[in-house]
């Protein structure tokens, strides 16, 4: 055995070299004794097995965790979260909400979501103090308003197994839309396959499920495509229950815009540029009155895995824009969104722009005036200039993306001079930030 051990110490360096040169390996093995040969073969097998396993793990990681480079320590975030010495954190949390960069309108060419035209609720938490629970919401757990990185925008940080109910000025109509932005930190392959952010449409505004409800859950798992969860319960019966495989693992790792449209019995849901759910008979009209959010089955906050939401918008569905323009000669919309303080159009505005373009294409003899309006934040002069730039951006989108002739469009801006409601609330500001279309 000692002789064999000495032989192995001499030949192992050569064996490592032989992994690169198979011919040398074969010649060397012939010169060994049988015992040494068997030992060497076992060493080679173990080395090959290890390298094969590492390559297999890397391949599986690229499939199960697309877009992720290298292994990530448990609990480690793409951007650090939770106070201490973290310079990116304000109010207890941090993340890069814009890490993926702006998306162009062209990315959203199949996006057909159009928000309702009568605003019922809008909350960006701008009126709440950092670290507080938002004043216009109720909960059975905890949550706090935070900022992320150096952005002035505010977000509601959600807690696990907690229900969040926004205060509504009235119950839901039969046709309405819900929108919100969400972002996460720290999700990894250890995140539960049942972890999800759920939007519930319920018959009451209590902190418990009602007797009649429908819910849609956005999966947060990373190691598998857990599927978008849909479930309803009306008149003591469940007619729809499914996990719709659409693979949103990359979407939930970056800033995501979620939009929902309810039209009678029909329920549709989009995330960013993709429609993920379209259920023709999911809702029983007359039962749904309120909306609720529920974060479910997330790990302990010690793992630094968090979910944040902001820009929660609820609007009643209205009359077709084309018929409204023809009948009344004008209409205004809050469905064309811009980056804060900028004329850059957000890509989730594509559906509204497309509907306007369709109306202009169908009525080829109709010309329009586009008028931009802002809220009262900022100076009068800067708001006036911004409103004009935004109107021009809408015209450019209609001409460049949809081929509408520039000769058919004029633009103007009114700044903050013509508010439709008081600017003293977040809902009021959201309604005043609008684009008006006037037939000329």
Q: Note the pLDDT of residue 44.
A: 47
Q: Which tokens sit at 147?
A: 């900022």
Supply angle C-alpha 260, 263, 268, rounded to 5: 35
Q: What are the tens digits of pLDDT across the range 279-336?
A: 999 999 999 999 999 999 998 777 789 999 999 999 998 656 767 787 888 989 999 9
What pLDDT does 214 receive? 98
Structure tokens at 292: 């609720």
The greatest distance separating any two alpha carbons of the chain, rounded to the nearest whole angstrom, comes to: 101
Residue 72's pLDDT is 38
Supply the pTM of this predicted model. Answer: 0.75
Question: Is the Cβ–Cβ distance between 304 and 79 less than 8 Å?
Answer: no
**Burial class, 133, CB count within 10 angstroms (exposed 0-12 / middle 13-18 / buried 19+):** middle
Structure tokens given for 213: 């409800």
Q: Which two tokens stand for residue 197?
A: 């952010």
Question: Phi then psi for 129, rounded to 5 degrees?
Answer: -80, 145
Cα–Cα distance for residue pair 39/358, rounded to 1 Å:
76
> pLDDT tens digits for 84-142?
323 233 443 333 444 445 678 888 888 989 999 899 999 999 999 999 999 999 999 99
CA–CA gap between residue 352 and residue 332 (Å, rounded): 11
Q: What is the three-class DSSP state of 189?
A: coil
pLDDT for res 70: 39
Run of H or E including 202: strand 196-202
Q: What is the pLDDT of residue 20?
A: 45
How far is residue 60 from each of residues 53, 55, 71, 168, 223, measured CA to CA in Å? 10, 9, 12, 46, 10
Are 295 and 184 in contact by the 8 Å Cβ rule? The answer is: no
On the question of pLDDT at 81 being above 50, the answer is: no
Band of residue 276 on the pLDDT scale cut at 50, 70, 90: very high
pLDDT tens-digit series, residues 27-65: 544 444 454 455 445 544 555 454 545 544 444 444 444
Q: What is the mean pLDDT of residues 260-280?
A: 96
More confident residue, 182 or 74: 182
Q: What is the mean pLDDT of the chain?
A: 82
């Amino acid at each position: 055995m000692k002789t064999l051990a000495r032989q192995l110490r001499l030949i192992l360096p050569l064996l490592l070299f032989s992994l690169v040169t198979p011919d040398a390996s074969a010649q060397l093995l012939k010169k060994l004794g049988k015992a040494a040969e068997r030992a060497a073969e076992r060493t080679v097998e173990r080395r090959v097995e290890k390298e094969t396993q590492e390559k297999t793990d890397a391949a599986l990681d690229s499939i199960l965790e697309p877009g992720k480079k290298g292994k990530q320590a448990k609990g480690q975030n793409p951007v650090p979260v939770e106070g201490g010495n973290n310079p990116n954190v304000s109010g207890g949390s941090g993340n890069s909400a814009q890490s993926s960069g702006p998306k162009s309108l062209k990315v959203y060419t199949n996006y057909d979501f159009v928000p309702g035209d009568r605003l019922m609720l809008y909350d960006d938490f701008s009126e709440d103090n950092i670290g507080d629970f938002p004043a216009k919401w109720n909960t059975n757990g905890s949550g706090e308003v935070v900022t992320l990185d150096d952005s002035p925008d505010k977000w509601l940080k959600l807690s696990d197994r907690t229900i969040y109910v926004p205060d509504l000025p009235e119950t839901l109509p039969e046709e309405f839309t819900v929108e919100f932005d969400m972002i996460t930190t720290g999700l990894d392959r250890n995140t539960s396959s049942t972890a999800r952010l759920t939007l519930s449409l319920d018959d009451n505004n209590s902190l418990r499920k009602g007797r009649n409800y429908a819910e849609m859950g956005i999966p947060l798992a990373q190691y598998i495509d857990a599927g978008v969860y849909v479930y309803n319960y009306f008149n003591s019966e469940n007619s729809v229950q499914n996990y719709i495989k659409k693979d949103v693992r990359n979407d939930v790792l970056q800033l995501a815009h979620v939009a929902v449209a309810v039209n009678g019995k029909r329920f549709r849901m989009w995330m960013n540029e993709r429609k993920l759910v379209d259920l023709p008979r999911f809702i029983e009209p007359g039962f749904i009155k309120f909306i609720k959010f529920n974060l479910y089955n997330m790990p302990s906050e010690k793992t630094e895995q968090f979910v944040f939401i902001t820009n929660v918008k609820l609007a009643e569905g209205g009359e077709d824009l084309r018929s409204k323009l023809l009948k009344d000669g004008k209409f205004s919309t809050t469905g064309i969104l811009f980056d804060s303080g900028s004329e850059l159009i957000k890509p989730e505005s594509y559906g509204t722009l497309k509907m306007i373009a369709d109306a202009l294409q169908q009525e080829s003899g109709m010309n329009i005036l586009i008028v931009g309006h802002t809220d009262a934040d900022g100076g009068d002069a800067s708001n006036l200039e911004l409103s004009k730039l935004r109107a021009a951006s809408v015209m450019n989108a209609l001409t460049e993306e949809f081929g509408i002739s520039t000769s058919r469009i004029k633009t103007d801006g009114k700044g903050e001079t013509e508010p439709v409601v008081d600017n003293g609330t977040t809902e009021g500001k959201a309604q005043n930030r609008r684009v008006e279309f006037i037939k000329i």
